[in-house]
Amino acid sequence: MRSRLTLEVDCGDGAVMSAVNPLSFEDGGIEWRLRYGNPEEVRFIAASLIDSYDYLLSGHINQKEADRRLRTLRQARRAPLKMEGRDG
């Protein structure tokens, strides 16, 4: 079964951020595709992940909001593993 490469996470107030879907590593994941596959096919997905990461590090939100969003992203990343009965 082919897993989606990313999760789109609702962070509240209309903010949506991308996180790597941990189930995507079964098929190599985005990192493998960028390194060994055809990066052209996943360029927009990779750009979305970088944009989300950069926003967490930027000065556009304060530390408290960055921490809250990071906790939200981590929780969303663990959810598919729990559904599969794996550790998160």
In the chain, the largest separation of any two C-alpha atoms, in whole Å, equals 39
One digit per residue, pLDDT tens: the chain, 88 residues?
A: 456 999 999 999 899 999 999 999 988 999 999 999 999 999 999 999 999 999 999 999 999 999 999 999 999 999 999 887 776 5
pTM: 0.85
Q: How many whole angstroms separate alpha carbon 11 and alpha carbon 14?
A: 7
Place of tokens 């992940």: 49
Residue 2 DSSP label: P
